[in-house]
Amino acid sequence: MFQIKEQPAVFDVCIIGSGAGGGMAAYQLAKAGAKVALLEAGGYFDPADPKYITQLKWPWESPRRGASTTRPFGDFDAAWGGWELEGEPYTHKNGTKFDWFRSRMLGGRTNHWGRISLRFGPNDFKRHSIDGLGDDWPIGYDDVKPYYDQVDKLIGVFGTVENIHNEPDGIFLPPPPPRLHEHFLKKAGKAANIPVIPSRLSILTKPINDQRGVCFYCSQCGRSCQAYADFSSSSVLVIPAVKTGNVTLINNAMAREILTDPNSGLATGVSYVDREKLTEHTIKAKVVVLAASAGESARLLLNSKSSRHEGGLANSSGVVGKYLHDSTGASRSAFLPHLMDRKRYNEDGVGGMHVYTPWWLDNKKLDFPRGYHIEYGGGMGMPSYGFGSGIEGLNGKYPTANGTTKQAGGYGASLKEDYRRFYGAYVGMAGRGEAVPNVNNYCEIDPNVVDKYGIPVLRFNYNWTDYEIKQAKHMHETFEEMIHALGGVALGTKPGADTNYGIAAPGRIIHEVGTVRMGDDKKSSALNKFSQAHDAKNVYVVDGGSFVSQADKNPTWTILALSWRASDHIIEQIKQKNL
């Protein structure tokens, strides 16, 4: 696996992590001719290799019919890992909660993500200037726009030009037409004055090059596409990067520490442990790029202590680990009586929704500071574990086509008819919102606990504030408005103040960012505006750690753009002999 004779004594760059940020950096730097060592803590993964393929499998090919007993998103989901990893604990402080999702595999969490590829808008980089909370980014939309454009072209994203100020349009492939329930959502949106527009997902509805196929509409991007028609860092960035011959990919390499020179304070390489053989290794590199995820990159920096970097590498400001924030989340589903007894046809479509709701209101008129978008689900999907569950709560409420109302529950031929008439008559909606970054929400090194490799682990401290809780309350009000406009019946009960309006526990939305934030002032930020450490110029962080604030969007497209931007900066600095 690690053959010393084939490797240069010192790599130009060592990248830690192969998700969106690491994949993009590996791709750009290898294309530019740099010799790259790419460390991935998990195993090799190629969505086109039958060894790994779950796409197009049937539910009966899983003994638990796709239930989530061993994988949090079910047996067929392309994420190896989850909220808990054996032998790799994390802890909590002050009775708070933070759930940390880790994927240990080539491409990381991009193999199963929602492919929702939204650009941050001009306002999203300057929130402090708008509402006085948090901080502005040291860069603005215009700095990132050229990179968003390049990411759109390299990776591909569908959508429509809408000319909404804070939802910048991209270079779009054609979007898939709406499904039936999405037609209803569009109509309901018009009635409720809530915008419902084509979604923006990184799925190829048209060919963009000869390396990748086109979407064949199986709705299973969460299983990662064997035709490479969705964006997974494994298939779209890392595998092509390795093909340049400039990347030495080392799997099962769990980074332990960034090594630094005691005199200059600069990074000299990375020490890692082989997760399978438990052997110890060192990689020497002129530049070290962290892309291990906001949590893991903060952990690595904080664990890289030396006399030059007493509080950890890149942490003279003390901000590493602080300002951790995840998107807010709340959801509700509804039954649409007018969709009972539907005609059957294949409406799988792409993996995910064909329409969504971008943030549409003015926070100045609301009692909370930041916005959210709404994702929608529904349709005649493939049955899996849980199918038909809870029918006893519905089948007594709605008469059959010939007007008879049955008793709830039941059994037999009549029950079978009920499963058929209710199939595909539901919609789900999920709000994803922006939290206000907060210095009191953080991860730090637990002084007492190590993982099975002896690496000190993260300890989390996280509380939602009224800002986020009021936002979740508003989400639920919007859901009910939409459900009413749909002529639907909300399922379950609307959560109240006792449950903080159903706001998901921090970490559950898997958009955690902010732990190694960028800024112009080295006293209050760890990185400069090029994602380069203030304290060690040959150290970069290209995952969500660098974010000053997570917008009401999804972080991946911005991680990709900023990683590309940082890669350009590395190449330029090497050319100018600054690195």
Amino acid at residue number 480:
E
Least distance in Å: CB of 98 to another protein? Answer: 17
Residues 77-116 that bind another protein (CB under 8 A): 80, 84-86
Stretch that binds another protein, among 54-62, 152-160, 427-435, 456-464 (CB under 8 A): 54-62
Alpha-carbon distances, residue 454 vs 89, 254, 275, 451 (angstroms): 11, 11, 12, 5
User: Is residue 161 involved in binding another protein (CB under 8 A)?
Assistant: no
Cα–Cα dist 167/161, whole Å: 10
Least distance in Å: CB of 73 to another protein? Answer: 14
Which among 138, 116, 113 has a CA at the least distance from the CA of 125? Answer: 138
Amino acid at residue number 389:
S
Least distance in Å: CB of 90 to another protein? Answer: 13
Cβ proximity of 396 and 404 under 8 Å: no
- Residue with Cβ nearer another protein (181 or 534): 181
Residue 317 is given by DSSP the state T
Quick check: helix, strand or coil at residue 354?
Answer: coil
Alpha-carbon distances, residue 307 vs 260, 263, 269, 298, 533 (angstroms): 10, 10, 17, 19, 17
Cα–Cα dist 353/457, whole Å: 37
Binding residue for another protein (CB under 8 A) from 415, 489, 490, 505? 415
User: Is residue 407 involved in binding another protein (CB under 8 A)?
Assistant: yes
User: Is residue 274 involved in binding another protein (CB under 8 A)?
Assistant: no
User: Is residue 70 involved in binding another protein (CB under 8 A)?
Assistant: yes
- Residue with Cβ nearer another protein (50 or 132): 50
Please state the φ and ψ torsions of residue 50, each to the nearest 5 degrees: -50, -25
Residue 292 is given by DSSP the state S
Least distance in Å: CB of 452 to another protein? Answer: 12
Residues 117-136 that bind another protein (CB under 8 A): none
> What does the H/E/C string look like for 23-68?
HHHHHHHHHCCCCEEEECCCECCCCCCCCCCCCCCCHHHCCCCCCC
| H or E element at residue 450 | strand 442-450
User: Is residue 390 involved in binding another protein (CB under 8 A)?
Assistant: yes
Cα–Cα dist 156/149, whole Å: 10
Least distance in Å: CB of 72 to another protein? Answer: 11
- Residue with Cβ nearer another protein (193 or 407): 407
User: Is residue 466 involved in binding another protein (CB under 8 A)?
Assistant: no
Which among 88, 119, 326, 107 has a CA at the least distance from the CA of 223? Answer: 107
Residues 180-239 that bind another protein (CB under 8 A): 180, 183-184, 187, 216-220
Binding residue for another protein (CB under 8 A) from 10, 31, 48, 59? 59
Strand segments (E) across 381-455:
426-433, 442-450
User: Is residue 392 involved in binding another protein (CB under 8 A)?
Assistant: yes
Cα–Cα dist 575/579, whole Å: 8
Binding residues with another protein: total (CB under 8 A): 74
User: Is residue 426 involved in binding another protein (CB under 8 A)?
Assistant: no
- Residue with Cβ nearer another protein (216 or 453): 216
- Residue with Cβ nearer another protein (167 or 347): 347
User: Is residue 394 involved in binding another protein (CB under 8 A)?
Assistant: no
Least distance in Å: CB of 565 to another protein? Answer: 35
Residues 141-160 that bind another protein (CB under 8 A): none
Amino acid at residue number 215:
C
Find tokens 């049937």 and name the residue: 58
Amino acid at residue number 159:
G
Stretch that binds another protein, among 52-60, 236-244, 264-272, 529-537 (CB under 8 A): 52-60
User: Is residue 381 involved in binding another protein (CB under 8 A)?
Assistant: yes
User: Is residue 172 involved in binding another protein (CB under 8 A)?
Assistant: no
Q: Would you tell me how many other CB atoms lie within 10 Å of the CB of residue 486?
A: 24
User: Is residue 69 involved in binding another protein (CB under 8 A)?
Assistant: yes
Stretch that binds another protein, among 131-139, 170-178, 480-488, 531-539 (CB under 8 A): 170-178
Q: Exposure pattern of 17-40 as b/e (b: 16+ CB <10 Å)?
A: bbbbbbbbbbbbbbebebbbbbbb
User: Is residue 411 involved in binding another protein (CB under 8 A)?
Assistant: yes
Q: Is 362 left (phi over 0), alpha (psi -120 to 50) or beta?
A: beta
User: Is residue 31 involved in binding another protein (CB under 8 A)?
Assistant: no
- Residue with Cβ nearer another protein (269 or 378): 378
Least distance in Å: CB of 176 to another protein? Answer: 5
Residues 301-360 that bind another protein (CB under 8 A): 338, 342-350
Least distance in Å: CB of 522 to another protein? Answer: 41
Q: Would you tell me how many other CB atoms lie within 10 Å of the CB of residue 396?
A: 15
Binding residue for another protein (CB under 8 A) from 277, 416, 494, 575? 416
